[in-house]
Structure 1
């Protein structure tokens, strides 16, 4: 065990700091090959990860010793400031620098020639470093790598890319030790396997349970909607009572709308900010600085503040809208009282009546320490294709050696040799349908080693590394200030719907659209008008499987003492009129309303799954003459309306037929083209940048659409089409949740025929996002309307 250097121990004593047990344990485990530390937010887990490095560096080391990897650029800067305090305070000769996309070119170039002792970076910057020919020299002396917030990385392709890079580092630096740091983990052994073989798990004392409850707003929430506007007076009261409050929302659009109404109701002029990923970086940094300085009483935010930056004296977290995911809720709760052994305080605000049930289920899960998490699938092959290109950019390689190296990466431990060879062939030639084109002939085999056909391709490969796909967005600037700071960005699709005079929200203020100038949305400030809400690239979270299972079990209770009276009475009325959904049965309700037949399917498959179910069921209904007209979906149900009642639902839910219907629907659908574009960019088939110039989203989409149509027609078995299908099924479509629903109910379908709308189905009539179905039903309505018109004109 390396001893804590005396200067550092003295500095800790001068600050009246004492090491926590898990920090001491990390020092004792300094020699272990791989360790996963799970410690509560505020427990000093980042310092625990660095202590062995500081102890070893105090004894002297030439070159790069420790690599710290974070999912956020802002977190690397924050860690650098926090780490320099003890290092400089103790007078230790340790250089600490960060390297991200914001690091100046001259500094990045110097870091390659003369690396610091500790380098703080992101997965993308690490991949770029590994793509250079001098990577073996840079990393030859590397001793430790620390992956912060590893649970967040493990849920995305950025984490898969990182694990491939760590496998490469292990070859360049034999004996490299790994450390993973996380606060919220639902399955520690699975995350340990993800980090690497033989990873030991160290769990710190979790500390006191959070002080978490539902905010009493004095009145029932609305039946539908997701903005939480009804709770603004009660939320403002809580803001007045606390030093700093974070008010989380699940989407950026909801955050903008809520902030707008919160500001209008803020009669005390409390300093309140807004923070989300679509705002200009300068605006986010101003809010972050004001928070750190204690100048803000509240910040309305999204997932941009989920992770572990210490934003100042936050003593309350409010989650507006059902959290959808217990693990994410626990992470957000940890932003309050960012101190060890101090309970975090949080309040939940359901945005509508059904979310009351979901919030109670989430509260119970937090109290039971029951975290959710979907099983991790195998490492995606588009990321592997990019990794092969990155490896080739750094120099020639042998296929056998690279295959063995890739298999050392946790997500790719089950990769087969044929799967690897298919990726290698695609990277080398573009695949069967594209191998005749010179631009995709990128690798050649010489003397048993693969290498770039043209060494100049290395620069293009480096420009296109990364798994984050840019959304087609346009910058928003005040008119008359072409070089001024942008207010933020909006999606290109939203901008195309605007006409001069339209107003919308951005950064919490209302602006008036004046026009489009050189791909920039020009606006003027226009307070006092009712705005549209810009369509940001905010995630629509689906309620997790764990939460839906808890909700279904809650429905089986005789009474609901944990629910507010208004919600308990609503469920009791549903039970009297119809029945409540059960965990192992599929409830369907059929009833007439407003001259249409309605079918309500309580699948509890999450929003994406229920939406897909609506598409597939209406397709099946159209084929069987039931004339569906449209549907709407929520996380828990799909409501379909049409001209004919459903009397025998079993054929509609045949899993083989549903799967066939999905294949047919996907083959010509925009979902597939959108997914193909993302995978093609990651896999290196389509360039995001060429010779330093970034392609517009429209250019990339045009290229990908042509390629998709070509491959679909001439090479339907192409690797990228197979990857695209898997990605679509797992992501936007979420067919796995439908399969889980079918397996859970095993054909036990209860169709309840009623003469009117039921209490549980009623809120679906108020949901936005109704999707019309084009088919026989609409044709019959058009014919009937035409007949009535002719009769009115005396012509029939």
Structure 2
């Protein structure tokens, strides 16, 4: 038994069972993801349920030998994708896949013990990291449950073969919807969802999940989109009804803003770090598992490095003890390092390879790491096991972000989330006080969905025309069904079409050359050669960071990514830190940095533009 349903489950299941579009607001660790999945999985099993199927039994024969009574044919589910799960993070997708396989196997096991045979439900992940052979296998034999990102869904809908997977989709789950609804990435997804509905053979139920989002009515309209209806001879857009399940009950919060100096104007050694690191190290020692958040990748690497230096100093008997009168005593981590330094505290961020991040998450969950220093890469619902304490270096950038991060501690239902926030300067102290006040009152910043983003519109028009011929009116109707484009005027729409059809040629702006054909006599749109490739390679709203991949010297093991400007300032023989490990550069190519371990060396700290 799984015990009593949690509030989002008890409130959400009736709406989902009715087939309503549903938006669920519930705290981190309250079981809202299971809420969304369970009914869809139940429907999958019931479509092929075979009540008379029984497991094989052994019966004695006259000779005393036992013979095996043949089992009735095992029921199967047709290889078609019925459930689509979308999240903004590839890491979260991989986590969801792992967490789904166990209950799916468990359901079949329990059914078998009760004399009933259930079919095997297949699960697959499609993202930018998915190998080509696995992508091709999905097209040949579609998984029943497909886990993907907004960008990968867009690419699949723009692929002539892969898009057929979505004709059978019945349910789509949009997780962590708060990270999408207020951005152009969410605008892009809203159009993609309308393309999905247009392709599907039946109405697709939409389920949105979030732990921190306001206003719910606005996000519900974003999730649901709209349909065209005719009333008294007049066509108008009518929002699709969305049931809002507000199970956003307040989690118990143990929050504190700590200052490690008496006066930010008078810092020991003109830096906050000699006072801050010993206090954070002390908190790590007092708790079993600590998650430390910073606001950028460079600071994550720096914090992990300083904490490891502090531990090394402690082993030499040079560590700073507790602060005396708010002043750090001793050399601590700023003492000279001799020899290699053990690095039990590691950094985790989006510029590290998928394999490295996964290994760190696994080690943290297994209790092998006392602490992990992360950025937004650890903010969402990745399963990292039990966390006792969340430490935030500098104030969170928003109340919603603070709640999301502190909610990683005491992740399970009924547990208290414990967080300590350390401002690093006077202005940051004021920020921290304001954000923590909002967190305690539950005052999350309102989300505003961008309207009529024409760059996103142009991308999606090229993608849609690349795989189908469209009439101008039909294309306009579909675009307006997406909430961000509900107020798009015909004038602006046709001006965008004119640009894409090359009506504004310019020698100095080659990007304005024609991308499609607009037949203004028959009001039809058709693709030009190369337009589908352009849509596939230039789609989405995540900017190209201009990164170099960092590999071990063998050229096979990827460690992560480095900003191109940092690489331009790097030479063979230089040392750098990445993932809390020190590396020496052995070679530089046009797109790779080859490195070898260099424990004990003094490294340069990387930087990433956009941090």
Q: Distance in 2 between matches of 1:431 and 1:79?
A: 47
- Aligned position for 1:490: 562
**1:228-239 correspondence runs (5 A):** 228=273, 230-239=275-284
Q: 1:425, CA displacement in angstroms?
A: 2.0
Cα deviation code 1:637-681 (max 9, x no counterpart): xxxxxxxxxxxxxxxxxxxxxxxxxxxxxxxxxxxxxxxxxxxxx
Residues 360/108 of structure 1: CA separation in 2 closer, same or farther (3 Å cut): same
- Aligned position for 1:275: 348
1:126 to 140, 149, 153: 153
- Aligned position for 1:757: none
1:26 to 4, 7, 12: 12
**1:593-632 correspondence runs (5 A):** none
- Aligned position for 2:51: none
Aligned to 1:40, what secondary structure does the other structure show? Answer: coil
Residues 44/83 of structure 1: CA separation in 2 closer, same or farther (3 Å cut): same
- Aligned position for 1:579: none
Instruction: State the TM-score, normalizing by the size of structure 1.
Output: 0.62
Residues 204/256 of structure 1: CA separation in 2 closer, same or farther (3 Å cut): same
Q: Distance in 2 between matches of 1:512 and 1:122?
A: 35
Q: Distance in 2 between matches of 1:179 and 1:203?
A: 13
CA contact (8 A) 1:509 1:527 kept: yes
CA contact (8 A) 1:188 1:201 kept: yes
Residues 227/409 of structure 1: CA separation in 2 closer, same or farther (3 Å cut): farther
Q: Distance in 2 between matches of 1:512 and 1:340?
A: 45
- Aligned position for 2:397: 324
Is 2:221 the counterpart of 1:193? yes
Q: 1:100, CA displacement in angstroms?
A: 1.5
2:97 to 68, 76, 80: 80
- Aligned position for 1:310: 383
Q: 1:113, CA displacement in angstroms?
A: 3.7
**1:10-159 correspondence runs (5 A):** 13=1, 16-30=2-16, 31-60=18-47, 62=78, 63-91=80-108, 92-93=118-119, 94-134=121-161, 137-159=164-186
Aligned to 1:179, what secondary structure does the other structure show? Answer: strand
Residues 503/337 of structure 1: CA separation in 2 closer, same or farther (3 Å cut): same
Residues 26/427 of structure 1: CA separation in 2 closer, same or farther (3 Å cut): same
Q: 1:58, CA displacement in angstroms?
A: 2.1
Is 2:524 the counterpart of 1:449? yes
Residues 379/438 of structure 1: CA separation in 2 closer, same or farther (3 Å cut): closer
Aligned to 2:390, what secondary structure does the other structure show? Answer: strand
Which segments of 5 or more consecutive residues in structure 2 lack a partner in the other structure? 48-76, 109-117, 225-238, 316-341
Aligned to 1:318, what secondary structure does the other structure show? Answer: strand
Is 2:458 the counterpart of 1:385? yes
Q: Distance in 2 between matches of 1:88 and 1:523?
A: 42
CA contact (8 A) 2:399 2:435 kept: yes
- Aligned position for 1:351: 424
Moved more, 508-517 or 339-348: 508-517
State the aligned residue count.
Answer: 522
Cα deviation code 1:735-788 (max 9, x no counterpart): xxxxxxxxxxxxxxxxxxxxxxxxxxxxxxxxxxxxxxxxxxxxxxxxxxxxxx
Is 2:547 the counterpart of 1:473? yes
Q: 1:472, CA displacement in angstroms?
A: 1.3
**1:610-689 correspondence runs (5 A):** none
Cα deviation code 1:513-541 (max 9, x no counterpart): 566344433555555565443221453xx
Cα deviation code 1:558-580 (max 9, x no counterpart): xxxxxxxxxxxxxxxxxxxxxxx
Aligned to 1:533, what secondary structure does the other structure show? Answer: coil
Residues 227/178 of structure 1: CA separation in 2 closer, same or farther (3 Å cut): farther
Q: 1:136, CA displacement in angstroms?
A: 6.6
**1:408-419 correspondence runs (5 A):** 408-419=481-492
Aligned to 2:458, what secondary structure does the other structure show? Answer: helix
Residues 229/286 of structure 1: CA separation in 2 closer, same or farther (3 Å cut): farther
CA contact (8 A) 1:503 1:529 kept: yes
CA contact (8 A) 2:259 2:423 kept: no
Higher relative contact order (CA 8 A, sep 6+): 2
Q: Distance in 2 between matches of 1:134 and 1:490?
A: 35
- Aligned position for 1:204: 247
Q: 1:384, CA displacement in angstroms?
A: 1.1
**1:288-299 correspondence runs (5 A):** 288-299=361-372
- Aligned position for 1:655: none
CA contact (8 A) 1:476 1:489 kept: yes
Residues 355/137 of structure 1: CA separation in 2 closer, same or farther (3 Å cut): closer
CA contact (8 A) 1:246 1:301 kept: yes
Q: Distance in 1 between matches of 2:291 and 2:25?
A: 24
Residues 484/222 of structure 1: CA separation in 2 closer, same or farther (3 Å cut): farther
- The RMSD of aligned alpha carbons is 2.7
**1:517-596 correspondence runs (5 A):** 517-523=589-595, 525=597, 531-539=603-611
Is 2:196 the counterpart of 1:169? yes
Q: 1:187, CA displacement in angstroms?
A: 1.7
Q: Distance in 2 between matches of 1:222 and 1:281?
A: 41
Q: 1:238, CA displacement in angstroms?
A: 0.8
Is 2:508 the counterpart of 1:463? no
- Aligned position for 1:602: none
Q: 1:150, CA displacement in angstroms?
A: 0.4
Aligned to 1:411, what secondary structure does the other structure show? Answer: helix
Q: Distance in 2 between matches of 1:333 and 1:226?
A: 26
Higher helix share: 1
CA contact (8 A) 2:11 2:247 kept: no
Q: Distance in 2 between matches of 1:239 and 1:46?
A: 30
Q: 1:134, CA displacement in angstroms?
A: 4.9
CA contact (8 A) 2:563 2:609 kept: yes
Aligned to 1:90, what secondary structure does the other structure show? Answer: helix
- Aligned position for 2:208: 180
- Aligned position for 1:753: none
CA contact (8 A) 2:182 2:448 kept: no
**1:732-771 correspondence runs (5 A):** none
Residues 308/206 of structure 1: CA separation in 2 closer, same or farther (3 Å cut): same
Q: 1:110, CA displacement in angstroms?
A: 3.1
Q: 1:195, CA displacement in angstroms?
A: 1.1
Q: Distance in 1 between matches of 2:464 and 2:412?
A: 42
Q: 1:317, CA displacement in angstroms?
A: 0.5
Q: Distance in 1 between matches of 2:509 and 2:574?
A: 49
Q: Distance in 1 between matches of 2:510 and 2:442?
A: 56
Is 2:292 the counterpart of 1:247? yes
CA contact (8 A) 1:223 1:353 kept: no
Is 2:289 the counterpart of 1:261? no
Q: 1:215, CA displacement in angstroms?
A: 3.1
2:499 to 415, 419, 426: 426
Q: 1:387, CA displacement in angstroms?
A: 0.6
Q: 1:251, CA displacement in angstroms?
A: 0.9
Aligned to 2:400, what secondary structure does the other structure show? Answer: helix
Residues 513/102 of structure 1: CA separation in 2 closer, same or farther (3 Å cut): closer
